[in-house]
Amino acid sequence: MPEVYTTGVTACAGSSIVLSVDNPVSGITYNWYNLPSSGALQATGASINTPVLNSDITYYVEAVNPITGCISSGRSALLVKINPLAAIGITSGKSQLCVGESYVFSNTITGGKWSSSNPLIASVNSVSGEVRALSGGNVSLRYSVEATSGTCANFADYNVSVFDLPNLNLHSVTEICVGTIAVSLNYVTPVSSPVSYSIHWNSVELATITDQPLPQGSIPISVPSNISPGTYPGVLTIKNSNGCSSQINFNIKINPKPSAPHALVQTNSQY
């Protein structure tokens, strides 16, 4: 009569494992059940794959000689002890970052380690959770908690999209004459789809512009007719639909008008 021997195993919650008969005999069939007698046949073979397990379970295996039809005197019990995963908390962070931005991610469970699926897109400090967005793309940030006595290691992933900054090339310094009431700030080669613009000046003589739709190729600027001659530095801020922005410094130069000529008319008089 064939005999069957097994050894209990320990696994982590959420995993599928391989169960095997100790020293299986060639030509013997091994049947696995969910009960020590009768019960439902779960699988057949010297080794089987379990479904995903989340709690302790016992499998019962019997040996059958297919030639003689003899069955082992009893089913051998194999206890699968399932250890729970270590507690993993809730990650707080931003799902979207702009290139050049830094942000500190956190988790409600302390003591874990951070890692990035692609440090070329976004790097992360393994201890502090500070993330630096480096280039456009999608990245997964992982918070891992180590196993402790009676628990298994666990992790949580947080998906982040990193967007490129908008940019454009301004033409050279714009020059106008006193009395000109409008000027255009011309640009070419916009990248990363800027959609709005703002302009701030270091002079109160020119009006601030805030979050206006970006016109194609040329940005209009109103100039007071009585503005003083000089060079006026400005900061152009452009923003794309992802909320990423860039600042570009520029100048406009106000030239004075030349003095009006004084015409002298000479006359010949007989008197």
Tens digit of each residue's pLDDT (9 = 90 or more) over 116-152: 999 999 999 999 999 999 999 999 999 999 999 899 9
Query: What's the pLDDT at 270?
Result: 60
| 182 and 110 housed in the same domain | no
**Residues 178 and 128 both lie in one domain:** no
Domain assignment present for 271:
no
Q: What is the mean pLDDT of residues 13-41?
A: 94
Give which of 182, 135, 166 is closest to 248, Cα–Cα: 166
Asked whether residue 56 falls in the same domain as residue 102, the answer is no
177/154 same-domain check: no
CATH code where residue 27 lies: 2.60.40.10
Judged against a pLDDT cut of 90, whether residue 156 lies above it is answered with yes
**pLDDT value, residue 7:** 74
In this structure, the answer to whether residues 201 and 234 fall within a common structural domain is: yes
Classify residue 269: in a domain, yes or no.
Answer: no
What amino acid occupies position 102?
S
- Which residues have C-beta within 8 Å of that of residue 57, sequence separation ≥ 6? 50, 79, 80, 82
pLDDT band at 3; cut points 50, 70, 90: low
Spatial CA neighbour of 122 closest among 94, 146, 144: 94
Whether 43 is in a domain gets the answer: yes
Asked whether residue 4 is assigned to any structural domain, the reply reads: no
Q: Measured between alpha carbons, how far is residue 228 from residues 182, 203, 222, 223 in Å?
A: 15, 11, 14, 11
Determine the Cα–Cα distance for residues 129 and 125; give it in Å rounded to an integer. Answer: 5
Cβ-contact 173, 158 below 8 angstroms? no
Query: Measuring CA to CA, how many Å separate 254 from each of 70, 181, 182?
Result: 107, 11, 11
Mean pLDDT, residues 108-118:
97
Residues 99, 155 within the same domain: yes
pLDDT, averaged across the chain: 93
- Model confidence at 271, pLDDT cuts 50, 70, 90, reads low
Count, residues in the chain:
271
Residues 175 and 214 grouped into a single domain: yes
- The domain that contains 223 carries what CATH number? 2.60.40.1220
Residue with tokens 């995903």: 52
Examine residue 39 and state whether it is found in any structural domain, yes or no.
yes
Copy the structure tokens of residue 69.
Answer: 């039809």
- In the predicted structure, residue 42 carries a pLDDT above the cut 70: yes
Q: Note whether residue 18 is domain-resident.
A: yes
Query: What does the pLDDT look like over 187-200, one tens digit per residue?
Result: 999 999 999 999 99
Last residue of a domain, one of 163, 178, 209: 163
Q: Is 92 helix (H, G, I), strand (E, B) or coil?
A: strand
Domain carrying residue 69 = 9-83
* 3-state class (DSSP) for residue 124: strand
Q: What six digits make up the tokens of 108?
A: 């409600």
Give yes or no for residue 254 having a pLDDT over 60. Answer: yes
Gap between the Cα atoms of 33 and 63, Å rounded = 11
Number of domains in the chain: 3
